[in-house]
Structure 1
Amino acid sequence: MTPIINRSTALLLAGLAFSGHLLAEETGAPVAEPAPASMIDPAAIQSLERMGEYLRGLTAFSLRADDTVDEVLDSGQKIQLTKTVEIQARKPDRLRASVETDRKAREFFYDGKHFTLLTPETGYYATVPAPSSIRELVDEIEVKYDIEFPLVDLFRWGENPEATAEIQEAMRVGTSRIGGQLADHYAFRQDGIDWQIWIAQGPVPLPLRYVIVTTDEPGEPQYMANLTWDTQARPDDAIFVFTPGKDDRPIDIVQNSAPATPEESPK
């Protein structure tokens, strides 16, 4: 069983291709012993479950994520990198994303029939046939092409109710204000990872901020994401359709010769 949050998420929840698995899936690995009940606040786990249920119920939304991630040099010095992700989604079969980092940019298009990945600075793009739903798409492009859709975990969160078995400590830290919204601040610990999440108070329990520290890597790099949501957005069909510019050039995507499962594909 993989963790509810893993180090891939810390590098990509940062994703040029936003990564990690905030849900757990069965992989055949040994299951960790449950943490003592005294170290886990049941209310913290319930808040995660409530948030996951709400996310799965969204039919359309737009989202901006402003991220920072530490890159630890061989000398031990930390370099902080930034990334901005913007997503428009309309279930079951429309998805668009743009990712801009200090080093590169990518755009993703899914119109229900085709998936396109564009590199704006070069004009290269690749288009492949796509399955009929967002959920199938994010798995297929990961398995076939090693492409992780930005913030992919938002489309998977809570699929496995046993994921919380990996959590060793869980507590409510208190109330915070994120972008003018009151939020409940929670802290969790599991093997190799300390992570925090801020969940909006009230009837719309959206995640507003993540902080993830990878404690078993040199320098303990930190990843942070601030999320801004619009759950009333109803994007038009046109924004999901890729239309190449006059200088854009098509290329092929090389398919994996021996595809792994989504949980096993390289990050």
Structure 2
Amino acid sequence: MAGTFPTARRASRAWRVATVLLGAGLLSGLASPAWSDEEAMQLLKKTSDYMAKQQTISMKFDSDIEIVTPSLQKIQFASSGEALLNRPDKLRLSRQGGYSDVELVFDGAMVTLHGKNANAYVQTPFTGAIDGLVDKLRAELAVDAPGADLLLADMFKQMSADVLDGKHIGQGVVDGVECEHLAFRGPEVDWQLWVESGSSPVPRKYVITSKMVAGAPQYTLRIKEWKAGFAAQPDAFAFRPGDAKRVEMKEAAGWDEVPPAVSEGTAR
């Protein structure tokens, strides 16, 4: 019938209208003095202090990372993983996705990055706290783990370093858990944090938006399971290579949750 949109087009148009109206409401709300920078920073500091007191932490998570193709199509890649931390200097972090299966092990003296798909690993000596390890991974080994910020002994110092503006948006629910929703802006990235409400301010969701990249791709981390205050097994941070071969760091460049090249029309 003339003048009638196909179902998909009507749904798309209705969604765009709803999004515009919702966005307008949010924009007007962001100007509200009830959302104070001071409250957001206080909640972030409370979370940081609580996390720092946890000697042993384990968690399971899902993560999504977006890329934007040259044609401005946004593609999302999903992974799941686990983390085990024993302060000050023990960490085991694993992540499995469609294109990689990677594990990082730090026993207090040696850092090992194990590419299970490649059946290979790289190692480098390091002594010190986990905070220093995260810096070393990023600066020297070109290994970045955005969610690792949440495990630092002083996550407040690290995460607030470049903050230009912060807001306590209000409440939200993540996997059935009521949370405080915080939003922060920086010169190159914006990020949001959902923290469990009440006396145990555990991070439940973390979103990083890259403003300097066309299409503003996002990294999202959702913490599904959380435990603290237990005794880790003595061998929990031991690395056993099995038949995996040791290789140079440059060979680990392809052990990523995003395939080396993504193009339209290319099958996996």
**Aligned residue in 1 for 2:95:** 99
More helix by share: 2
Please tell me the residue identity of whatever aligns with 1:239: A
State the 1:116 CA deviation: 1.3
**Aligned residue in 1 for 2:119:** 123
Normalising to structure 2: TM-score of the pair? 0.71
Task: Output the CA distance in 2 between the equivalents of 1:162 and 1:147.
Answer: 21
State the 1:138 CA deviation: 2.7
Could you list the runs of 5+ residues in structure 2 that have no partner in the other structure?
1-30, 251-268
3-state SS of paired residue (2:140): helix
State the 1:240 CA deviation: 0.6
Task: Output the CA distance in 2 between the equivalents of 1:66 and 1:252.
Answer: 29
C-alpha change, 1:243 and 1:80, in structure 2 (3 Å) is same
Task: Output the CA distance in 1 between the equivalents of 2:89 and 2:245.
Answer: 25
Q: Number of aligned pairs?
A: 216
Q: Do residues 167 (structure 1) and 169 (structure 2) align?
A: no
Q: Do residues 237 (structure 1) and 239 (structure 2) align?
A: no
- CA RMSD in angstroms comes to 2.6
C-alpha change, 1:244 and 1:212, in structure 2 (3 Å) is closer
The match for 1:140 among 136, 143, 155 is: 136
Contact 1:99 1:150 in 2 (8 A): no
The match for 2:84 among 72, 82, 88 is: 88
CA displacement, residues 209-247 of structure 1 (integer Å, 9 cap, x when unaligned):
1223333421121222111321134321212101121x2
1:1-267 matches, cutoff 5 A: 40-149=36-145, 151-154=147-150, 155=152, 156-159=154-157, 163=161, 166-168=163-165, 170-228=166-224, 229-245=226-242, 247-253=243-249
**More divergent stretch after superposition (91-100 vs 153-162):** 153-162
CA displacement, residues 12-60 of structure 1 (integer Å, 9 cap, x when unaligned):
xxxxxxxxxxxxxxxxxxxxxxxx9957432112111111122222211
Task: Output the CA distance in 1 between the equivalents of 2:36 and 2:134.
Answer: 32
Report 1 or 2 for greater relative contact order, CA contacts < 8 Å, sequence distance ≥ 6.
1
State the 1:128 CA deviation: 2.5
Task: Output the CA distance in 2 between the equivalents of 1:193 and 1:146.
Answer: 19
Task: Output the CA distance in 2 between the equivalents of 1:148 and 1:48.
Answer: 22
Contact 2:101 2:115 in 1 (8 A): yes
Please tell me the residue identity of whatever aligns with 2:209: V
CA displacement, residues 114-146 of structure 1 (integer Å, 9 cap, x when unaligned):
221111112111223220432333333444323
C-alpha change, 1:122 and 1:157, in structure 2 (3 Å) is same
Please tell me the residue identity of whatever aligns with 1:152: A
Normalising to structure 1: TM-score of the pair? 0.71
State the 1:150 CA deviation: 6.2
**More divergent stretch after superposition (133-142 vs 69-78):** 133-142
